[in-house]
Amino acid sequence: MTNEQHPAPRFARRTADNPSPMTLDGTNSYVLFTADDSAAVIIDPGPQLDEHLGALSELVGDRELRGIVLTHHHWDHSDLLKTVDEWAPQTPVFAVDSAFARFVPPLEHEDLSGDDAVLEFGPAETDRIRLVSTPGHTLDSISVLAGTVLFSGDTVLGRGTTVIMHGDGSVEKYLDSLARLRSMVEQGRITEIQPAHGESIANPAEVLDYYISHRRERLDEVRAALAEQGAQLDGLEISPEHELTEAVGRIVYATAPQDMRQTVNTIVAAQLEYVQKHG
């Protein structure tokens, strides 16, 4: 583990009033401040709610808003960008999804390494933030590292575990991203996680270890369900609508209510896709 010391970033959180089973208490938006207090950056503007926009605007205050970083495209993180021309007409948006990148090219996962991944929004060391490629929850997911604080979007949540949907995310990429973050924790590069849903995480090693083991245990349950069905995935075109997806979902997520079955099938299809490739 490295002993390198990083100054703590200055930031504030505002939680949008959009609670639900998927968003937990609501979406956390973050405002980072420069050391000289002259400028700010927003991470995940959040849903299109006047009260939430007002809260973010109050945090930014008279500071120059020098950037907006979108961790991924889901509406509860991005919807406020629909009116960005009104509240931040000159501010660039950094995003992988080209539908949201603004005044700068869309980010490419393979470019998010070295100095290419660093955004400087002020002259101090604490004014440098690093964009970390963390696809999996969605294919366009990134995280933001400020000092040793990781703003994880939906890659890691304040409680529970994140959802991966077939066609929107990838279990394979997600496991790779978790391994990357766990390595960064081991290196001392991450000491705290600020998620987009739920409270901050002061024990990232423990949480990431749980995330990895939980995901692998779920994949083992899927394999067991396939064996119970006597099913083979070779050559199968996996989809949420396939009868095998439904059958596996009924076993692995036996207690899920009927009105969640479509969501369950989309989750199971993503898991089957991984098992098909990796066994």
pLDDT tens-digit series, residues 134-158: 999 999 999 999 999 999 999 999 9
User: What percentage of the chain reaches a pLDDT higher than 70?
Assistant: 96
Q: Which long-range contacts (CB under 8 A, 24 or more apart) does 23-30 make?
A: 23/76, 23/197, 24/157, 24/158, 24/159, 24/160, 24/197, 24/198, 25/197, 25/198, 26/197, 27/76, 27/77, 27/196, 27/197, 28/194, 28/195, 28/196, 28/197, 28/198, 29/56, 30/151, 30/194
The CATH H-level (homologous superfamily) assignment of domain 10-202 is Ribonuclease Z/Hydroxyacylglutathione hydrolase-like (3.60.15.10)
- What integer pLDDT is reported at residue 4 of this predicted model? 55
Q: Which residues contact 240 (CB under 8 A, 6 or more apart)?
A: 166, 262, 265, 266, 268, 269
Give the pLDDT confidence of 126-136 residue by residue, as tens digits.
Answer: 899 999 999 99
Grade residue 278 by pLDDT with cuts at 50, 70 and 90.
Answer: very high
| Residue extents of the structural domains in the chain | 10-202, 214-278
Mean pLDDT score of the chain, rounded to an integer? 94
pTM for this entry: 0.94
- What integer pLDDT is reported at residue 5 of this predicted model? 59
